[in-house]
Amino acid sequence: MLLGPSLTVSAVLFALGVAGVLVRRNAIVIFMCVELMLNAVNLTFVALAQDLGVGGQIFVFFVMAVAAAEAAVGLAIMLAIYRHRQTVDLRNINLLKG
Amino acid sequence: MSPTLIIFWAFAGLAMASALLCITRQNPVASALWLVVTLFSIAALFVLLDAQFIAVLQVLVYAGAIMVLFLFVIMLLNLGRGGPSDIKGPLGLGVAVLLAGLMLVQLLGMHPGGSTPALAPSVMARATAEQGMIPAVARPLFSVYLVPFEITSVLLLAAIVGAVVLAKRKL
């Protein structure tokens, strides 16, 4: 019953996450937007698992584990960058820019 | 409109509104707190979608552990204070909204949308009723998906070591 609405909400949340990544310049906020996109996809998995079996929910479990690992390592990288450049603003992290 | 659908849209609206606030607030702490609201609302949606165990995990792991980590780093780096806005100018904003809008149209075009009448209890609702809330997820997790589950522990170990190495001042 809730499959259609869930997929709609998931699409909106994912698009909001994409917009956040494109609009913001603060690396930590961009990181939070990536988490938002992961959650939108989790919602899709859970919505489809309702009728297609428990596999979708188990995949969400693994997505959460990967997200936790990614958050820990990503934030450690931010700490290292901040220690190096005293900022997490992407305008100042442009070593690879031509 | 059934009561379930009303509750669903209430939490869905809350999730979408707080996600929008999350990407528009200039203060990273405010962004993080609005994201916590979004994650809680998504947990409520999980309950409505017969995924009670995943909903509890969502609150514990996402709203609890991951967002505390984010807030901790924001405060450690002292980013909460005001400063020049980190939101892009009109051109960047326009391009971003255009691209995100295109993506939304694409994603919405992939499924019919709209709610269909519930004909019978869903597969997950039946499994939960037969086996219980947690066994329905735990049994396949520790049988069919045992190898991925064990590999996850290696991933987490690698993440722990990586985070310590990266965050350490001097090796």
B79-109 pLDDT, tens digit each: 777 677 778 888 888 999 999 999 999 988 8
B116 touches chain A (CB under 8 A): yes
pLDDT score of B171: 57
B169 touches chain A (CB under 8 A): yes
Across the interface, of B79, B137, B156, the residue whose CB is closest to A54 is B137
Residues in chain B where the model's pLDDT stays below 50: none
Across the interface, of A9, A19, A65, the residue whose CB is closest to B97 is A19
Crossing angle for the helix pair A27-52 and B3-24, nearest 10 degrees?
A: 160
Q: CA-CA distance, A49 to B46, in Å (whole number)?
A: 11
Query: Which of B148, B24, B103 lies closest to A37 in space, CA to CA?
Result: B103
Q: CA-CA distance, B96 to A90, in Å (whole number)?
A: 16
**CA-based angle B82:B40:A88, to the nearest 5?**
30
Average pLDDT over residues A67-96: 88
pLDDT score of B119: 63
Across the interface, of A17, A31, A50, the residue whose CB is closest to B122 is A50
Count of beta carbons in the 10 Å neighbourhood of residue A36:
25
Count of beta carbons in the 10 Å neighbourhood of residue A84:
9
The strand ranges marked E within A1-98 are none
pLDDT score of B170: 64
Q: How confident is the model at residue A21 (pLDDT cuts 50, 70, 90)?
A: very high
Count of beta carbons in the 10 Å neighbourhood of residue B123:
15
The contacts found for B136-142 with CB under 8 angstroms, 24 or more apart, are: B136/A54, B136/B53, B137/A54, B137/A57, B137/A58, B137/A61, B137/B53, B137/B54, B140/A54, B140/A55, B140/A58, B141/A58, B141/A61
Contact B137, B130 (CB under 8 A): no
B16 touches chain A (CB under 8 A): yes
